Amino acid sequence: MENVISVKGLEKSFKQQKVLKGVNFEVKKGSIFALLGSNGAGKTTTVNILTTLMQADGGSASICGYDVEQYPNRVRECISLTGQYAAVDEKLTGRENLRIIGALRHLPNKKQRADELLEIFRLTDAADKLVTNYSGGMRRRLDIAMSMAGDSPVLFLDEPTTGLDPQNRLAMWEIVKSLADSGTTILLTTQYLDEAEHLADQVAILHEGVIIADGTLDELKERLPQGMIELQFSSETELNKARALLDTYSTRQGEGDHVLDVRTKGGAEQFADVLNRLNAGNVELLKFAPKTPTLEDAFLTLIGEKEEETDHEL
């Protein structure tokens, strides 16, 4: 498949702070690409440059074959953007919001397109209600529907589910998946690792202005040590005892009550060593099991390795 989005050596600074330090990635047609990173990593800055809202200081980027800086109008014709906050008119109904966007985009069938989007985004029953009476999830769905009014081939979603409850997040995930299935290319920024794991075909991790990892979920997970062990204890006291006994291993708090994840090299010798240390310390252990790596494991491990490299350089 052709690359619809291509980013090479992108750089951007604000005063003395360098936010992007040579960002590189490519997005294939019809795929969902997740750009991950902590707050301040440069995700929104990257999106703003790609959507022509901001100029880069260096590097290049192209959308649908058009250079973002040289042909901004052409780029705008093939993209839609949904920012972090819903940009809807609360004094209008959902249907009116969509028809106005259709008129602004000079759609010949703006009424029909509005009705289609109301159905796709599950807003038909609320179509003629004022948006001021919409829930947060409904406003977010309307916001994305408005961005799709022109049927753009490329959609940028900048943290689309921030602030949504679990039910509305799941509903949004289904919509995003269906858009990709229909051929829309989606670049998604998110802080929610489970969201990226559920949606993305390709993931890039942006850390301190550079892409430190880029690949499919399986490719990122393959870069992890295969010897993760999940331990669960009867109390926080027992967990702390275990952490002290396993001080030569890399550990972190796991998911659930009194759970500790231990990173080993995966050999039977180290598995046995972990058990022997806990038994020798009379630690009350409820669960001992190998753990399948998740995207969160990959994210935390890769960022941790990058920070260790930086510390050694200093």
Instruction: Evaluate whether 264 touches 271 at the Cβ level (below 8 Å).
Output: yes
Q: What is the pLDDT of residue 314?
A: 45
Q: What is the pLDDT of residue 300?
A: 72
pTM exceeding the 0.85 threshold for the entire prediction: no
Q: What is the DSSP string of 285-300?
A: EEEEEE----HHHHHH
Quote the crossing angle between the two packed helices 136-147 and 94-104, to the nearest 10°: 20
What distance, in Å, lies between the first and last C-alpha atoms of the chain? 42
Q: What is the DSSP string of 119-151?
A: HHTT-GGGTTSBGGGS-HHHHHHHHHHHHTTT-
Specify the domain boundaries for CATH 3.40.50.300 within the chain: 3-220
CATH for the stretch 3-220: 3.40.50.300
Query: Which helix (H) or strand (E) segment is 53 a member of?
Result: none
Quote the crossing angle between the two packed helices 136-147 and 166-181, to the nearest 10°: 20
Specify the domain boundaries for CATH 3.30.70.1070 within the chain: 225-292
Class of CATH domain 225-292:
alpha beta
Q: What is the pLDDT of residue 143?
A: 87
CA 136 to chain centre: 20
Tell me what percent of the chain is helix, strand and coil, each rounded to the nearest 5. 40, 30, 30
3-class DSSP assignment, residue 104: helix
Q: Compute the residue count for the chain.
A: 314
Give per-residue burial for 126-162: e unless 16+ CB within 10 Å, then b: bbeeebeebeebbbbbbbbbbbbbbebbbbbbbbbbe
3-class DSSP assignment, residue 152: coil
Strand partners, 260: 231, 253
Residue-level pLDDT, tens digit, the chain, 314 residues: 489 999 999 999 998 899 999 999 999 999 999 999 888 889 999 999 999 999 999 999 999 999 999 999 999 989 988 876 667 899 999 999 999 988 988 888 889 999 999 998 889 999 999 999 998 888 888 988 888 787 789 999 988 887 778 888 888 888 889 889 989 999 999 888 889 989 999 999 999 899 988 998 888 877 765 678 899 999 999 999 999 999 999 888 888 899 998 888 777 888 899 999 999 999 999 999 887 777 777 777 777 666 655 554 44
